[in-house]
Amino acid sequence: MNVFKITIPGSWKYIKEQGDDSFIGKIVIPASNTILQFDFSNNGYTNSLLPTEQEYLKKQEWKKDEYFYKPGVTYTADFNVKNERAAQMKKLGTTDSTKVHVEADPSYETKTNVHLPTQAQRIKYLNADYVADLTFRDSTIHVPIEIPLEIKAHNIQVDSTDKYVVNTIWPKNPGTGITEIYFKGRSSRLTFNIVGINLSKKDQDLALQAFKTIVIK
């Protein structure tokens, strides 16, 4: 499948593999017995192995839904409160709506503002890289956020062209971590990555040089 071109050292060997929904393969580095895996998809099936700090913050995996929850209350989507309340009343065999406690989930209305910690917050939250101000109606709480160590251990360079957003990733400590280039189409579903794990400093440098020669056809 002739979808991209890359220039690699003469001693490295390309091995084609069979993928179900994407074009996959590997590049073997015989001298160090390591490999680079690649996955090229026109359907958006390929992901970067590491998000940038901003991508991590935006995904909000650090965020929990129950910050503004009250004990003894059942939470549901705002459009389902009436139905859920009726269902619980029926289950209890009562027509008294005060016997059940159903409210709209506050996570839908919570406003989020993520920022670098203030000086006072740096003292209070010693390990915080960022702080999120979460506001629900008239209440605001502050949530410290720690960027995962795996992200901190890597350099992540983001470049953009008219067609692609390109992330280049390599470990700050060669030999331990991910060396990757990841392409994501700006107006298409194309995604493509080439990944090496725990590459030596020499192989890492050669891989990064090879990444710069990639041309997507």
Q: What angle do CA 122, 128, 132 make, to 5 degrees?
A: 100
According to the model, what pLDDT value does residue 1 have? 64
Contact criterion met (CB below 8 Å) for 34 and 203: yes
Q: How far is CA 48 from CA 39, 51, 54, 182, 215, in A?
A: 10, 7, 14, 6, 18
Kindly report, residue by residue over 10-33, the tens digit of the pLDDT: 999 999 887 778 899 999 999 999
Give me the mean pLDDT over the 111-131 stretch: 97
- What are the structural domain ranges in the chain? 4-53+149-216, 64-109, 112-145
Q: What is the pLDDT of residue 65?
A: 77
CATH T-level assignment (fold) for domain 4-53+149-216: Protein Transport Mog1p; Chain A (3.40.1000)
Q: What is the 8-class DSSP label of residue 186? A: S
pLDDT tens digits, one per residue of 138-176 = 999 999 999 999 999 999 999 989 999 999 999 999 999
| Distance of alpha carbon 174 from alpha carbon 53, whole angstroms | 20
